[in-house]
Amino acid sequence: MLRSLSIRNFALIQNLNIRFYDGMSVITGETGAGKSIMLGALNMILGQRADLSAIINKEEKCVVEAQFRIEGYSLEGFFKNNDLDYDHQTIIRREITPSGKSRAFINDTPVTLDILRVLTESLIDIHSQHENLLLNDSSFQLQIVDGMARNSAVLNEYQKAYQLWFRLKKELQELQDAADKAAADKDYFQFQFDQLADAGLTDRDEQNHLEEELEALTHAEEIKMALSLISGSVDDESGGVLNRLTEARNAAHRISPFLSLAEDFDKRLESVIIELKDIAGEAELRAGDIEYLPERISEITDRLNQLNDLQHKHRAGSIEELMQLKEDLETKLSAISGYEDAILDKEKEVNKAFFILENTADQLSVSRKKVLPLLEKQSSELLHELGMPNGVLRVQHEAVSAFSASGRDRITFLFSSNKKHAPQSLSRIASGGEKSRLMLALKSLLSSSKALPTIVFDEIDTGISGLIAAKMGKIMERMGETMQVVTITHLPQIAACGSHHYKVFKLDGEKPSSNVVELQQDERLHEIATLLSSENVTETALNNARELMGN
């Protein structure tokens, strides 16, 4: 529950520290004194958007800090899952810098607003005046039912099942869309693949080899004559180079006994002769192999034309790119063939998730329907206590076919304060005062079932006065026996029910500011008498105040 609230440099509050207690506390003050500023500060703690305009001194940061006692509310797992230090006395802080940057902290560890909201939803509920409008909202009505039924665990399981089913359905649809598109492309991919497969592309250098061979065949006669000339020039018996070199080597050999240099000549000439014989022999051999083959030329030309056509068609620069394209097409065709199996597998996943979702939705529906008679009975009893002897709340349940994030149930609250009129929609018949009383009744039931540490009522007594206000105060006082209740009110009957009383007032000066003080017993008496008399406090007003306070 809320133990303290510290506010610095926020709206009209310069520096304020308030301590809160168990039970029911009331806050009073004139209109415009600053009660709404306190609520705005608390809403910042709950993770609402920070407003730069709330800073009084634009050169200093705004800080709102609240301390909560959280033992006994099973929040250890939340702190562990979010890498936060758990402490029975947990401190939540919001800061707004002069530049407008907002930061949030839990026990001095920076956190996102989403994390902050998740935690504070388990700590405090602020009922503002406009929240009475939620009575007409179907999702709020469903929250009331779930709260009464203590459906937190099963609702959490349902929402997990719903998210899984929704995600798998989306994945299945994406697979089916991809399969439909792939099926439309299959014939085109297959034609391209078959064309490349029929081309028999196995050698990445085939094109280069064929071009070289075509060049050789096209110049066959010229090559043959040149090779014969090479062979004859080197090894012709009548005038070949080899004959003259052989004579030169013999001469070198003859004089080698007399000249050491001649021995070197002998060896070098021998090497040259061997190399030239090899050249002559190879040229003669290759000349014999050269043949003009028009059929082979035609065959090579056709193959090169085929390769060039394929490259041009597929915008490829080489055979290697064509071979890669063939592999890619094969992969696409394989994937198309695999869609059917993938869709079947995904359909099994969807069906399994749907089975779990349907079962969980049924559990949720059973739990909701089971608690409706109790909700109707207890809320009607509270309405009677609040001065509506004929007040009746009926909860209409309707099963719907479509799944939503909250289940397959439609909840509608029907209300009547006159036994001659059948219950109808709240938006059609409930007055402002009736809605206030009904909302208090529902909040009372919801808070007890949820075991919420703290609830704050911001003038829930709108449209209420006199005896009914006293009864509302007694209900809030009773709520304070099991939880912390903080009530902002302008009615003395409700203010008299509090265990602790705070007064908000404005300090006039060069820079008007708001302040809050906790009233002592005699101060409380005077404040309640002031609320009763609205003008100068009379002895009669003081006596009435004592009576309200039970003194």
pLDDT at 129: 65
Give pLDDT, residue 136.
Answer: 75
Tracing tokens 């206590």 back to the chain, one arrives at: 385
| pLDDT value of position 354 | 96
Q: Which residue positions in the chain have pLDDT lower than 50? A: none
In the chain, where are the structural domains located?
1-123+452-519, 205-317
Q: What is the 3-state secondary structure (H, E, C) of 358-391?
A: HHHHHHHHHHHHHHHHHHHHHHHHHHHHCCCCCC
Q: What is the spatial distance between Cα 106 and Cα 65, in angstroms, rounded to a whole number?
A: 10
Structure tokens that stand for 250 in this block:
């013999």
d(CA 509, CA 482): 42
Token code pair at residue 197: 């497969």
Predicted local confidence at residue 89, as pLDDT: 92
Quote the percentage of the chain above a pLDDT of 90.
29
And the tokens for 472?
């509302």
Contact 264, 178 (CB under 8 A): no
% of the chain with per-residue pLDDT over 70:
96
CA dihedral 420, 423, 424, 430 (to 10 degrees): 80
Q: Which two tokens stand for residue 512?
A: 């008007």
pLDDT of residue 130: 64
pLDDT at 331: 84
The fold of 1-123+452-519 is: Rossmann fold (3.40.50)
**Tokens found for residue 145:** 């039912």
Tell how strand 2-10 and strand 62-69 pair up. Answer: antiparallel
| pLDDT per position as a tens digit, 318-372 | 888 899 999 988 888 877 777 888 899 999 999 999 999 999 999 999 999 999 9
